[in-house]
Amino acid sequence: MSLISWSITAFDIWVIDDLQDTFSLKSPKKSPLVLRMIVLMFAMVCGVYICSICLKQIGTRTTNEFLNVEEPQRPCPEPNIEPWEIPYVHYPKPKTYSRDECACNPVRYFAILSMQRSGSGWFETLLNNHTNISSNGEIFSVKVRRSNISSIVETLDTIYNLDWLSSASKNECTAAVGLKWMLNQGLLQHHEEIVEYFRTRGVSAIFLFRRNLLRRMISVLANSYDRDAKLLNGTHKSHVHSPHEAEILARYKPLINATLLIRDLKQVEETQTKALEYFKSTRHIILYYEDILKNSSKLADVQEFLKVPKREVKSRQVKIHKGPLSNYVDNWDDLQKALNGTQYQSFLIGDYRK
């Protein structure tokens, strides 16, 4: 605007000057008049040029405002991706902050689908070590969040809109956002609606299972035994333990009922198979804890799956249960006998020390 007024002023001065000269009729020489005409022409051309630029800018601004009203979620240039990827690429606009310089970086949505004691905690710390990945933890361990499908959808919407603020949040420069979700946390119960959500919102699933389900099971049992033993010790300190009980507490190893163990192993296998069947139509990858431990390319596979820049990722969290299984069970001989000759026999020898 100041440019316009300046140009008009300059133009006016020249015109007035010229008129004065014309009316004075006392121009002594011709050459200054020609010179003035040239300068006047130059000023006019400049004025018209500046005006046209200003008008163009005003015009562009109006068009932008118009577009913003019409189509608010398409301000970013098209990313250079394969057509099949388009449904999986998002540009969330968080309510609580601005994505600033990363506003036009595409974001992928994921969910780690796993079972307790399958190394998903460790796996998640590995993912969160990547500057562009935010995995927000076991969000649905809190019961109210999974009490019905509307609560689940509301929670997922908040996470995927980058409005879930946790220690894992990378905020504006997140390129992949997700959570850790156990199969028994409403996932299988509401599988139809959740599969539909994943399909329509473009969420990719990362299945994380453990190959050695016996190790997993013993880990679960040892973990709850651990808790129970501590609880028993704490609350009944003044009570006299039976010699047997005291002995178990001292050695800190659970006795495992082999009959129940085989039943539970079968159940876990069935649960995993069911989950894979339910979610087979979603985009997914299947990972095993043991493979990630042994084979570093598995982490590169995950980064490729999430389309984040390849990085080396580290975790300071210790891996679950190292060493021979017999260290963790009181009646190892009974277990060996019970599993010998069954489909689970191989679980007895698997030892994934690293």
Ligand X SMILES: *[C@@H]1O[C@H](CO)[C@@H](O)[C@H](O)[C@H]1NC(C)=O
Residues making contact with ligand X (CB under 6 A): 102, 105, 129, 131-132, 144, 147-148, 150-151, 173, 175, 229-230, 233, 249, 252, 257, 259-260, 295, 297-298, 301, 309, 314, 316, 336-337, 340-341
Centre a 10 Å sphere on the Cβ of residue 164 and count the other Cβ atoms it contains: 21
Taking the complex as a whole, the smallest distance from the CB of residue 99 to ligand X amounts, in Å, to 10
Among 271, 267, 265, 269, which residue's Cα sits nearest to residue 219? 265
Taking the complex as a whole, the smallest distance from the CB of residue 294 to ligand X amounts, in Å, to 7
- Given 3-state DSSP classes, what are the helix, strand and coil percentages for the chain, each rounded to the nearest 5? 55, 10, 35
Taking the complex as a whole, the smallest distance from the CB of residue 259 to ligand X amounts, in Å, to 5
CA distance to 120, 149, 270, 279, per residue, from 188 (Å): 18, 12, 12, 10
Taking the complex as a whole, the smallest distance from the CB of residue 233 to ligand X amounts, in Å, to 4
Taking the complex as a whole, the smallest distance from the CB of residue 129 to ligand X amounts, in Å, to 4
Edge to edge, the sheet with strand 133-135 lists: 133-135, 176-182, 108-114, 203-209, 284-288
Complex with ligand X: residue 7 or 306, whichever CB lies closer: 306
Complex with ligand X: residue 147 or 224, whichever CB lies closer: 147
Distance CA 34, CA 39 (A): 9
Distance CA 151, CA 154 (A): 5
Complex with ligand X: residue 223 or 257, whichever CB lies closer: 257
Complex with ligand X: residue 47 or 106, whichever CB lies closer: 106
Complex with ligand X: residue 72 or 341, whichever CB lies closer: 341
Distance CA 102, CA 83 (A): 22
